[in-house]
Amino acid sequence: MKRIFRLLVLTGAMVSVISMTGCAYGMATSVGKDYVVVLRQDGFLFGALRKAFVCKATTSGLTGCRDNENP
């Protein structure tokens, strides 16, 4: 019983560490007619590595993305 409990606790800890280090892209907003700002959110250190990307919106998707720019 103790072995199963330890395995569950270890698995839960590994899952939480892995989920905290990932990132997600979201919160896209348009700037003008051609450009879109996309924010990258991460869970590492409560969002210490957040970035904003400025991309050009085309019919085939987002192209020419640049980071650390003021829209």
**In the chain, pLDDT over 90 holds for what percent of residues?**
0
In the sheet that 51-58 helps form, which strands lie side by side, from edge to edge? 23-31, 35-42, 51-58, 61-67
pLDDT digits (tens, 9 = 90+) for 36-52: 888 877 766 666 777 88
Strand pairing class (51-58; 61-67): antiparallel
**Residue 35 CB burial class (10 angstroms; 0-12, 13-18, ≥19):** middle
Quote the DSSP letter at residue 45.
Answer: G
Does residue 52 come out as left (phi exceeding 0), alpha (psi in the -120 to 50 range) or beta?
A: beta
Domain range annotation of the chain: 23-71
